[in-house]
Amino acid sequence: MDINEKVLETLRNSGEALKGGEIAEKSGLDKKDVDKALKTLKAEGKINSPKRCYYGIAE
């Protein structure tokens, strides 16, 4: 499973919007890798940012 998949899975399992640091903590990934994955996933439209610095699954 690659980093993007792991970030998506963590967001799906949380059921709420999370900060990058929280995603890193819950998934066991490095924060820099999570930040990079969040940027990619947001550009692809797979996640959104309901409020500043929080991320959730795009509906």
pLDDT per residue over 1-10, tens digit each? 799 999 999 9
pTM of the model: 0.91
CB-based contact 26:34 (threshold 8 Å): no
- One digit per residue, the tens of pLDDT, for the chain of length 59 reads 799 999 999 999 999 999 999 999 999 999 999 999 999 999 999 999 999 999 999 97
Q: Are 41 and 8 in contact (CB under 8 A)?
A: yes
Percentage, residues of the chain above pLDDT 70 = 100
Is the CATH code 3.40.50.620 the one for domain 3-57?
no
Question: Domain coordinates of the chain in residue numbers?
Answer: 3-57
